[in-house]
Amino acid sequence: MTTVDKPIGFGRMHRKEDARFVRGRGTYVDDVNLPGMLYGAVLRSPFAHARIVSIDTAAAQAHPKVKAVITGQTLEGLKLAWMPTLSQDTQAVLATDKVRFQGQEVAFVVAEDKYAARDALELIDVEYEPLPAVVDARRALDPDAPVIRDDKEGQTDNHIFDWGAGDEAATDAVFASAEVVVAQDVLYPRVHPAPLETCGAVADFDAVTGKLTMWCNTQAPHAHRTVYALVAGLPEHKIRVISPDVGGGFGNKVPIYPGYVCAIVGSIVTGKPVKWMEDRSENLMSTGFARDYHMRGEVAATRDGRIRALRVKVVADHGAFNGTAQPTKFPAGFFHVFTGSYDVEAAHCAVTGVYTNKAPGGVAYACSFRITEAAYLIERMVDVLAYELDMDPAELRMKNLLKPEQFPYPSPTGWEYDSGDYPRALQLALDMAGYAELRAEQASRPAGGPLMGIGISFFTEAVGAGPRKHMDILGLGMADGAELRVHPTGKAVLRISVQSQGQGHETTYAQIVAEELGIPPDDVEVVHGDTDQTPFGLGTYGSRSTPVSGAATAVVARKVRERARQVASAMLEVDPGDLEWEKGRWYVRGDHAQGRSIQEIALAAHSSLELPEGVEGHLDATTVYNPPNLTFPFGAYICVVDVDPGTGQVKVRRFVAVDDCGVRINPMIVEGQVHGGLADGIGMALMELIAFDEDGNCLGASFMDYLLPTAMECPSWELGETVTPSPHHPIGAKGVGESATVGSPAAVVNAVLDALKPHGVRHADMPLTPAHVWRAIQGRPLRTDLAIT
Ligand code: PCD
Ligand SMILES: [Cu+]
């Protein structure tokens, strides 16, 4: 496929930011070096659960290069020992009373260089009194389970919340009369977003001006600034958060971590800038994990394969502090989109959140708040039903998919899917895969030999949070601002509140301006990631940038276009109503030659030209976009695997992915996003797992144990597309950044289990490592999340 160098608008344009990235000239947090800068390091708990008896910092303080040692006690004096989480819980910045997970922050050393800071950690003497740990979420509510959050008044167990959606009575009624009911326990194990760049910050507090400048690789600079203002009591206008180039976020860089607060305190107490960068193990052990949902799904159906109702119960492991990032009203995120892409009579889910002695998180790792868990569950359950009915999983899906004429579709759990043509996408995927031939190949395999499996998944996402009426984070509404200014010479600057972590926003947002105004994308500079330079907005996660900020960009460009019309009417001395727009130019209706380009108009807007009453001059506009609904991208995925029954080794032979994200701004970038997510899916389905032993020791704290997929595990992707524009989005686009991560794990797992069908295996949990597959074939599947089974 060809990549056009310079489309004026949508198209396969090379990424503008790559000019600096491929030359190694990006600026990441760790590239920020300030005069006199000091370095911080965190002392972490070796225990999952222990009382702190004493902390002796004298020897560390005496280290010649150490400038400060901060403990929970220091912070208590500043009322900073605890901070609010994004789920209205509290989290220890540095532990005072107890440590509650292995790797928890206990002390912070500030020194002249990073080596001295790390050395001094070993000089701190902490006396711990170990306590029994809660490791298994399903045991967290046992009456004899140790209470983890005894810091919280009135908390006498490990219960966080109960939440449900749908109509329980109606669902139970359908189940009571159903011809077929299948039930299955399904685990979505704890995984980690594992961005290549770990989390970090440089805090620079200027005692003279009282201004704090915080370089931090956050996905949500404005939200962070507001929270710092609230937590530290600093005036918000005296805080500047700069999120420079970010080496991957994947939800890991949404929360505020104790290290950030410590860097700020370190800078305040030393009067010097302080850098804190975590290492790989710290990132995997202590920052926001994802999933950890213990689900029980039930399907009620007719014998001929009509899905009638769904019932789900979930125990959600939130770790030691409820630090889940999601809109306030939704403690289980958007999990209630679990009815997926199917037309069901009734559905109900009940989710119970519990504390365990594990790192806090539950971040939306490529999943728009628990949508990945939901999509995985329903797609696994459909295959369990197919197994039970001995029906072809493609046929079963076709039979139950929503029909195009049902949109906008009100779901039984309260969503309104904006648009879709599901059968078309599934048919395209089946055709691309050559489904009938694959099944024929499978049927012709001799028994006892190598196994082959074909797995299908169909997913619907709800992305673009969100309408202010329903969605906020810590009380902050989820609308996003945009400002566009066209300079006298026709070049433009767009300022947006979202922040790219590799998605290519500097290119695609310039393309949206180009599409709407006809200014070449190279002439549009996109400014983001700096709270002093950009309008307020909640940041990039949940694939919300295109649905919200992309819409804001189109709207603000259209406002500028209307301003340009007024100026053009003065230039051409005609009524504005007699002007017609074509990309980049206003012209007189009926006289195409009489017109002015957007660049000519920009110059005139800054000139001495007499402008009509009420037109102020210059060419700029601002807007705040509050989306009317989320957007609902969808897709059909087919995975083909070969399984060696002797070793349990799985090889992904082919992967067909048909995605519909509405109008594509830059198809090349969209395909790159899909490639990344498909690799993610293979990783989670086959390799990735943060496991714990019975004492709560984290067993996956390096890339030797936490296995990431590489090109070796990935086939050459086969991509297809359909385009169903979002009816409420100004350019018809839907988010896509997370689609493939949401949709692909089920396709891989369904393929492996399809291969194991001759061995009578109906279900096995991720990750399907060789050992686990081999045991499943022997009829002895493992609990994958615990090393103790
Ligand atoms: N239709 C359409 C859509 C879209 N697009 C494009 O694509 C991209 C993406 O988008 P979206 O979907 O809107 O998304 P955003 O918001 O931007 O982003 C976010 C996402 O993104 C993804 N992807 C990526 N990539 C990279 N490179 N890196 C990173 O980090 C990342 N991450 C991941 C995640 S996870 Mo979360 O945070 O968990 O919630 S969420 C997420 C951008 O550029 C845009 O513009 C286009 O073109 N078209
Ligand atoms: Cu931050």
At 788, the pLDDT band (50, 70, 90 cuts) reads: very low
Residues 360-389: pLDDT tens digits?
Answer: 989 999 999 999 999 999 999 999 999 999
Q: Is the pLDDT of residue 557 over 90?
A: yes
CA 299 to chain centre: 28
Query: Does ligand 1 lie within 6 Å of residue 13's CB atom?
Result: no
Confirm if 544 and 630 have CB atoms less than 8 A apart: no
Residue that is written with structure tokens 């050459």 in the block = 716
At 232, the pLDDT band (50, 70, 90 cuts) reads: confident
Pocket probe mutation, ligand 1, options 503, 511, 664, max atoms within 8 Å of Cβ: 503
Confirm if 458 and 342 have CB atoms less than 8 A apart: no
Confirm if 621 and 560 have CB atoms less than 8 A apart: yes
Q: Is the pLDDT of residue 789 over 60?
A: no
- Predicted local distance difference test score (pLDDT) of residue 451: 97
Q: Is the pLDDT of residue 517 over 60?
A: yes
- Predicted local distance difference test score (pLDDT) of residue 556: 98
Residue nearest atom 13 of ligand 1, based on CA coordinates: 546
Calpha distance 115→39 (Å, rounded) = 9
- Report the residue count for the chain: 789
Going 675 to 676 to 678 to 682, the CA torsion angle's sign is positive
Q: Is the pLDDT of residue 787 over 90?
A: no
- Predicted local distance difference test score (pLDDT) of residue 2: 56
Q: Is the pLDDT of residue 628 over 60?
A: yes
Confirm if 364 and 294 have CB atoms less than 8 A apart: no
Using DSSP, state whether 366 is helix, strand or coil: coil
Q: Is the pLDDT of residue 166 over 60?
A: yes
Average pLDDT (745-769) is 97
Residues 442-500: pLDDT tens digits?
Answer: 999 998 899 999 999 999 999 999 999 999 999 999 999 999 999 999 999 999 999 99
Query: Does ligand 1 lie within 6 Å of residue 540's CB atom?
Result: yes
- Return the closest-CA partner of residue 690 out of 699, 703, 681, 682: 699
Residue percentage of the chain with pLDDT more than 70? 98
Amino acid letter, residue 477: G
**Mean pLDDT taken over the chain:** 96
- Predicted local distance difference test score (pLDDT) of residue 700: 85
Q: Is the pLDDT of residue 674 over 50?
A: yes
Query: Does ligand 1 lie within 6 Å of residue 736's CB atom?
Result: yes
Confirm if 67 and 110 have CB atoms less than 8 A apart: yes
The alpha helices in 401-520, defined as continuous H runs, are 422-433, 435-443, 505-517
User: Under 8 Å CB-to-CB from 91, ≥6 apart: which residues?
Assistant: 82, 83, 84, 85, 258, 321, 323, 360
The ligand placed nearest to the CA atom of residue 216 is 2
Residues 570-595: pLDDT tens digits?
Answer: 999 999 999 999 999 999 999 999 99
Confirm if 576 and 588 have CB atoms less than 8 A apart: no
- Predicted local distance difference test score (pLDDT) of residue 3: 59
Does this model's pTM top 0.90? My answer is: yes
User: Under 8 Å CB-to-CB from 274, ≥6 apart: which residues?
Assistant: 37, 38, 39, 40, 110, 202, 203, 204, 263, 264, 266, 267
Residues 379-438: pLDDT tens digits?
Answer: 999 999 999 999 999 999 999 999 999 999 999 999 999 999 999 999 999 999 999 999
At 613, the pLDDT band (50, 70, 90 cuts) reads: confident
Q: How many angstroms does the Cα of residue 542 sit away from the middle of ligand 1?
A: 8
Calpha distance 590→439 (Å, rounded) = 60
Residue nearest atom 22 of ligand 1, based on CA coordinates: 737
Average pLDDT (215-238) is 95
Calpha distance 786→610 (Å, rounded) = 75
Calpha distance 595→544 (Å, rounded) = 37
Residue nearest atom 23 of ligand 1, based on CA coordinates: 737
Q: How many angstroms does the Cα of residue 246 sit away from the middle of ligand 1?
A: 13
Residue nearest atom 3 of ligand 1, based on CA coordinates: 735
Using DSSP, state whether 44 is helix, strand or coil: strand
DSSP assignment of 170-189: HHHHHHHT-SEEEEEEEEEE
Residue nearest atom 10 of ligand 1, based on CA coordinates: 737
Q: How many angstroms does the Cα of residue 669 sit away from the middle of ligand 1?
A: 9
Calpha distance 314→506 (Å, rounded) = 40
The maximal CA–CA distance of the chain, rounded, in angstroms, is 86
Q: Residue 443: count other Cβ atoms within 10 Å of its Cβ.
A: 7
Residue nearest atom 46 of ligand 1, based on CA coordinates: 665
Q: Residue 530: count other Cβ atoms within 10 Å of its Cβ.
A: 17
Q: How many angstroms does the Cα of residue 503 sit away from the middle of ligand 2?
A: 20
**Quick one: tokens of 50?**
């222990």
Q: Is the pLDDT of residue 4 over 70?
A: no
Q: How many angstroms does the Cα of residue 100 sit away from the middle of ligand 2?
A: 23
Using DSSP, state whether 229 is helix, strand or coil: helix
The ligand placed nearest to the CA atom of residue 239 is 2
- Return the closest-CA partner of residue 288 out of 328, 260, 330: 260
Query: Crossing angle, helix 551-572 and helix 505-517, to 10 degrees?
Result: 30
ipTM of the complex: 0.98
Rounded to a whole number of angstroms, the CA Rg of the chain reads 27
